[in-house]
Amino acid sequence: MSRVFLTWAVTHSVKEVQSEDSVLLFVVAWTITEIIRYSFYTFSLLNHLPYLIKWARYTLFIVLYPMGVSGELLTIYAALPFVRQSGLYSISLPNKYNFSFDYYTFLILVMISYIPIFPQLYFHMLHQRRKVLSHSEEHKKPE
């Protein structure tokens, strides 16, 4: 969901951030991640998973995940002044629905949500790495 949100609701919608280095940061992280992920899935389906691809799937996230998250957060942060100035996607009162929405505040809340969510997902992946790669190492030991 964060990829759709960052791609459409931030980067596409706020043209001024499209040339930010932070966009390149998350796009590179996402691209490498997807190449590894789909290689992993493909070779797994073929029942011929090279250890290098398994290792890459459960190791490179250590750098790629923080890199992607940093790019995402920096891009949202760069979009904030433009969102505030333009009132992008915001709905002000009064209106016939008696409802208001401030996209600027929403973006700040999204950024804050990374604080509890990122460590939980990152440590889950570290746990998965330990489980999957240590299991592989046990099978590689000569008896």
Find the Cα–Cα–Cα–Cα dihedral 125, 126, 132, 134, rounded to 10°: 180
Residue entry with tokens 């691209």:
31
Amino acid of residue 1:
M
Interatomic CA distance for residues 90 and 103, integer angstroms: 5
Cα dihedral sign for 103, 105, 106, 108? Answer: positive
Q: Which helix (H) or strand (E) holds 24?
A: helix 21-45
Q: Which of 20, 58, 72, 104 is catalytic?
A: 72
Q: Which of 16, 51, 58, 65 is catalytic?
A: 65
Closest-CA residue to 11 (of 108, 90, 21): 21
Let me know if 72 is a catalytic residue.
yes
**Enzyme catalytic residues:** 65, 72
